[in-house]
Amino acid sequence: MDSMKTEVENNIAKKFFIDYSNTTNVSKELYPYALFKKNHRSVSRYFSIWNKAGYLENKRISKSKINKKGKKYSQLITTYRLKLDFYLDYAKERLGKENFNYVEKKILNYIFSFKDIREIICQYDNLIEGITAFLERIFLSRSNSEFDEILGLQFIKGFFVRNKRFMKKCEDLEKQFEEFWKVSIKYADDLLYKINLLTKFDDKKYQKIMFESPISKYYNLPFVIDKGTTEKGKEELLKRFSIVFYEDRKPNITPWGTS
């Protein structure tokens, strides 16, 4: 099902994506000067489409009000929030047989259960692009240290801590530790693979730029000379640096000085 295609739809969707709301409040926020403020036709239209598609979850909340006589009273109202289903339907169309499985969908719903993360997504013009970009960031990007775990793995660990039923129960603590890591890493790898399929990023083009473009001459230049480097190794590294730095050309030697 097509969704989040227009600017109007995305603007309305963001109000329902960040937190629970209703058509009246969203209409007032987005269209304060409209003739019919209570339920603007665009808000009602998209709300109806999402509701029929099963994209909305609801929650009853108590709201304090004051009547004409100035007396305070409480009223229960129904509010709605966009679930992640609209994105999962989009992913299903893109991934086909490689689609997210039951547990993976649960993990993704856990990731986007946090309000601050939903607020980050809403900084993008398009919600679907924002969700994909966030998943790219936490699963496909690493810090400068090769020992740092991807951020996505932290979410996965949090999910399995809260959902132990999805892994084998072990009486021995060490075995439980091993099981926890085995399952967490498996799902991190599987999600990384599928999220990579959803992105527009092309690894082959990236590799071509790195090794075949004019900037390939700068690849593998050392940032520092390690203290354990031998004098010969140091000489070879500086020779490579000199050729690139002073002549701006690719050395005809490997990083370790062999031809």
Is 1-83 a CATH 2.60.40 domain?
A: no
19: left (phi over 0), alpha (psi -120 to 50) or beta: beta
What proportion of the chain, given as a percentage, has pLDDT over 90?
59
Kindly report which listed range (15-19, 41-45, 59-63, 146-150) carries the lowest average pLDDT score.
Answer: 146-150
pLDDT tens across 218-236, in order? 776 767 788 888 999 888 8
pLDDT tens across 26-71, in order? 999 999 887 766 789 999 999 999 999 999 999 998 877 787 777 8
Indicate the average pLDDT of the chain.
Answer: 87
pLDDT tens across 162-198, in order? 999 999 999 999 999 999 999 999 999 999 999 999 9
Ranges 8-17, 147-156, 240-249, most confident: 8-17
Paired tokens of 188: 């991190």
pLDDT surpassing 80 at residue 25: yes
Domain coordinates in residue numbering, the chain: 1-83, 84-201, 213-247
d(CA 161, CA 17): 26
b/e map of 203-224 (b: 16 or more CB within 10 Å)? eeeeeeeeeeeeeeeeeeeeee
190 strand-pairing partners: none
